[in-house]
Amino acid sequence: MNAADEALNDQPTHSPGGSGRLFSMNTPALSEIPGVALPDGARVPALGLGTWKMGEHAKRAAQEAEALAVGLDLGMTLIDTAEMYGDGGAEEVVAKAIAKRRESVFVVSKVYPHNAGRKSAIAACERSLRRLATDRLDLYLLHWRGRVPLAETVDAFERLRAAGKIVRWGVSNFDVGDMQELFALPEGRRCATNQVLYHLAERGIEWALLPWLRERRIPVMAYSPLGQGGLLRKPKLVAIARKLGATPAQVALGWLLRDTDVIAIPESGDPEHIRANRGAPSVKLPAAALREIDAAFPPPKKPTPLAML
Ligand code: NAP
């Protein structure tokens, strides 16, 4: 385990202590953000921050970085970004947000499939590192499968890992068949996570992919956990949230966090939304509420191919 992992394990921001100043103002009873164990033993907060759509307009960059900083202050110390987002602009926004606290943030970025070759992945990672103004990524993901053979990508990831430019690697948008192919490769089992579309209205992974990953103790990173905002307007979710005295976003996130191996990465550029999202671990979902949620947003009843955006 390296210094960053130790910092993540020890950091007070995993408990409300790290952000006590903010909590004590008007949010007295926030629960800790649960930790999720990665296969190498590092622990990351189950609630992080997404960055898609950030870094697209220079004028908004400072404001977006400030929004991320609010989330970091509140203990959401995992940031998900990608070379794709804002054409590198999102990574530059992240650089601003983490500049004075790199050691306490778990930085995830992703490589485009067309940049995932034996040499090109290394060059892409170095560009990401420059934009992020850091010397290493805590986690580097293949954004989705493309034409480059997986063996080449894994080889590049392993070389990046050996060089200390990434601490670990994983994949995104991989269905069971893709995971099986990956695991057939000599170093394929080093995969730390699979980042996939997962939220109340997209539960297809519960049929086969989630159990497959669970058997191998690979946590899932749930992207678009708020259904890109559209989920929050669904009347059934609004009604369930009202009964629970929570917001729809808190219920949607709290539901994902009911398991100990799911990491949710909601995106928001609005500090008020981020503060509200941070309340998700405090939402109690008793069995009756979970039954109501299952009735409104049923789990899959048959094999379902992986949905992706
Ligand atoms: P999301 O997190 O499900 O939803 C984001 C939207 O929800 C934004 O429009 C945001 O608007 C709104 N929102 C957030 N909190 C809210 C709240 N409390 N109340 C009301 N609205 C709220 O969607 P996403 O950005 O697609 O997914 C999250 C992250 O996952 C991305 O940013 C990215 O890092 C990652 N991702 C990965 C992939 C992949 O292929 N690997 C694909 C998609 C996404 P405001 O700014 O107004 O709050």
- Residue 28's pLDDT is what? 43
For 233, counting Cβ atoms within 10 Å of its Cβ (0-12 exposed, 13-18 middle, 19+ buried), the class is exposed
* SS (HEC) of 159-194: HHHHCCCECCEEEECCCHHHHHHHHCCCCHHHCCCE
| Protein residue closest via CA to atom 38 of ligand 1 | 223
Tell me, using a 6 A CB cutoff, whether residue 225 lines ligand 1. Answer: yes
| Protein residue closest via CA to atom 29 of ligand 1 | 50
- Residue 104's pLDDT is what? 97
Catalytic-role residue among 85, 140, 198, 223? 85
Residues whose CB falls within 8 Å of the CB of residue 272, separated by 6 or more in sequence, listed in order: none
- 3-class state of residue 126 by DSSP: helix
Tell me, using a 6 A CB cutoff, whether residue 266 lines ligand 1. Answer: yes
Q: What is the position in ligand 1's atom list of the atom closest to the CA of 54?
A: 32
Residue 206 and residue 2: Cα distance in Å, rounded?
A: 33
> Could you report the per-residue pLDDT of 163-199, keeping only the tens digit for each?
999 999 999 999 999 999 999 999 999 999 999 999 9
Amino acid at 158: E
Ordered mean pLDDT values, 10 residues apiece, the chain (309 residues): 39 33 42 96 98 97 98 98 98 98 98 98 98 98 98 98 98 98 97 98 98 98 98 98 97 96 98 97 95 98 95
Kindly give the pairing relationship between strand 106-111 and strand 78-80.
parallel
Tell me, using a 6 A CB cutoff, whether residue 174 lines ligand 1. Answer: no
Tell me, using a 6 A CB cutoff, whether residue 272 lines ligand 1. Answer: no
Residues whose CB falls within 8 Å of the CB of residue 212, separated by 6 or more in sequence, listed in order: 176, 179
> Could you report the per-residue pLDDT of 195-254, keeping only the tens digit for each?
999 999 999 999 999 999 999 999 999 999 999 999 999 999 999 999 999 999 999 999
- Residue 9's pLDDT is what? 39
Ligand 1 centroid to residue 268 C-alpha, Å: 6
Cα 278 off chain centre by: 14
- Residue 31's pLDDT is what? 87
Ligand 1 centroid to residue 36 C-alpha, Å: 20
Q: What is the position in ligand 1's atom list of the atom closest to the CA of 226?
A: 3
Q: What is the position in ligand 1's atom list of the atom closest to the CA of 51?
A: 32
Ligand 1 centroid to residue 86 C-alpha, Å: 14
Tell me, using a 6 A CB cutoff, whether residue 223 lines ligand 1. Answer: yes
Given a contact cutoff of 8 angstroms between Cβ atoms, the answer to whether 71 and 94 are in contact is no
Amino acid at 100: K
Q: Is 85 a catalytic residue?
A: yes
CA-to-CA dists, residue 20 to 10, 16, 32, 57, 68, angstroms: 16, 6, 11, 33, 17
- 3-class state of residue 289 by DSSP: helix
Q: What is the position in ligand 1's atom list of the atom closest to the CA of 249?
A: 18
